[in-house]
Chains A and B, each alone.
Chain A
């Protein structure tokens, strides 16, 4: 349990700059997910927080104390590694207790804490086994057990689920969510999987090229992406981007003509000039499909249709632009069908040439489901 402050750090490997300059504060008890494409510097950032990589400049503060040059145990970190990194020559019990052993904790206390961690993670009957005698999921739990016995201030997880198969991954994700509730320690979790990020995080930090693109709650990122990168990274299938040009601007509202055809009125928060090129983003699930043509609708021809059972993904090709529509109505479309689509302006995001968000809208408000509705 600790507040982590990262203060203007930079990191380069030789002449390759991995992190240009980065600051971030993670408050006490938060579950923070670092997410981004591979090579974006998220793992390096985690290793810097852990104390495994020195920074070139800047400071790492834990509860306000400068820890930039401290070894990992002094920082009070524990870490779960992607490959689990269990000691192959030690049994499960010793693997879990090794950090305490090094810290010269009395052996009775080690035994007690190992036992408790093992109970919590359903490992009690495996304590005498070597890592190679365990399944992938069990090794994963040992790695987590090793981290929680340390009672860390900062609990770091580096793509912990990426070596598990799909079914196991869902199970472990739920297990980590439960752990988060129980431990109440500050957790920092690196992943490239946005489902893990969305489901686990209190706050998500989206990174690209060593820079932070946006920090926010999962729903903030989903509904108000700060730029094209975040808009394209969060959400699956990815947000559609359509080129357009500003036709007119009046009173915090821009009228945009899309290359695709329709004109849309979008509320904006930053100045725009008529004639500016813009990119309009709309998520596949927000495009409305209607059976008949009507005034606001635009008619397109369905290309490839993917039937997922619950959803249908309809790919539309229009000149240079591709559009994906996600339809959950249960209707079945076929390639070649003529579809009338409309883009609700409230669900459209507008980005300027540099990729920054300019639309003001917060399309769908998140509201708690009323208790009555939940019971029904």
Chain B
């Protein structure tokens, strides 16, 4: 993407050019140009920001309303009309109360366990398999690649009943291991890692080979550090996928003590639907860690969209 934000001073500033200084002085005010290099008129800029703020209200507003509801005390009317957007006396009361109604911190811990396990298995499994598909010559490599491509074409929703009976026959239904297993090495992640390894030049690994490095050393010391970016994408999307997943844990977990946060929230909503303050507190607990993660690691989230969009 070309940078369209330029000051006229920058544009005419050439080393040794006699007019540079005058141009700098007169071009102090920042101006904006569009794709064709024409100046954006002020009213157009104002309109643009108004639209941006409107969309911002639509996308962030609902989260803020939920936060506000969760901070409203038991005596405050949450149904008032016109609505009051800020709590009169902000309190964390509801966060304590939601823990009395459902073991919300246990559920959060369950979600964390599932998400961390999924990150570890996906990173290890897809890096190993991706390396094998990209770098190692062996009979059946094409078949192995095909297995992952075929797996990518099968929508999880259409095999969920069979996954459930499989877990039952392994006696893993109602366990967190059962929640993790079906997604523990995603086919998409394997193919992403394969592409990342294919993009590495052979020469570096050959140098190590000449120096006597074996395949594990080449994988761990040379190839893997070079694909850190893709590995981070895999890790983040594995975490988000596991933390946010709903349908599969809902099916495989029957015992309320094993629930993950999403299933627990659904349970809270079904049982205590009348108390919106509690539900609001629960949803904030569920969404806060991911928003924090997103705030810190944005570029990997965006990068993952581009790479993951190949998914069918």
Partners in one complex: no
